[in-house]
Amino acid sequence: MVQSLNLSGIVNVFRAIRNARLIMPHMVVDVESLDIIWLSDIRQIDFVKLKEQGVRVMAFDKDNCLTAPYVNHVPESFESSWKLCKDTFGHDRVIIVSNSAGTADDANHQQISCLKCLAIISSNVEKSLGVNVLRHTLKKPAGGQALLQRFENIAKPHQIAMVGDRLLTDVLFGNLNGTITILTRRIISDKGDNQMAAMIRRFEHRLLDALQSRRVQAPNVNEEQHD
């Protein structure tokens, strides 16, 4: 499976050029900065503390954030942290927001569950990860309304945390929609990774370092980011 061209990503890059804060995460996966909360991967995310601070929903990118690229299960070393996340927030308040599952790249949405009568036919991703995959027609960083509407009766945007490995998709997606954003800087595996995505990710890391050196701050989560 491969991802098609992300036109919304290209368009939204220009929004980030106008406002660099939109691609600055609130938390970052690394261990070297004293100026921002730095993690290393999802194992170092304090899910209990996030909930205590008011987070009600956890949204995750899949490839190279939660799983290896195009793999449907978390690495064995992540299993206890993933279980803790689901136990802390509840399986129905943890969701996958991926550009490779639940979009047109996922042929006929076959990786996500669909409703037939009163029964849910679980997909491979959902069966393996134990949470739902968000169905969305627009690729990140577009399409945030699908996530907000999914949880509109449960959480306000600032009570949702978006976790991902990409600045120009995951972080921009979250910041455009007023969520807390967490960047996992350390990837899980380069095996099977989309070559273009890998190249852009390396650029994003350099960009993040430059923004950090300039003391660029992530937007306040209660700010409206829409044009």
Query: pLDDT, tens digit, for every residue of 18-38?
Result: 899 999 999 986 654 444 555
pLDDT at 13: 73
> What number of helices (H) and strands (E) belong to the chain?
7, 9
Helix (H) or strand (E) holding 34: none
Question: From CA 28, how far away is CA 70, in angstroms rounded?
Answer: 23
Tell me the CATH class for 26-99+139-213.
alpha beta
CA 124 remoteness from chain centre? 19
Count Cβ atoms within 10 A of the Cβ of residue 15 and give its class: 0-12 exposed, 13-18 middle, 19 or more buried. Answer: middle
Bridge partners of residue 132, in order along the sequence: 95
pLDDT at 159: 98
Higher-confidence residue of 11 and 131: namely 131
pTM for the model stands at 0.83
Angstrom CA distances, 18 to 23, 144, 174, 226, stand at: 11, 20, 17, 13
Mind listing the pLDDT tens digit for each residue in 32-90? 444 455 557 899 899 999 999 999 999 999 999 999 998 889 999 999 999 999 999 99
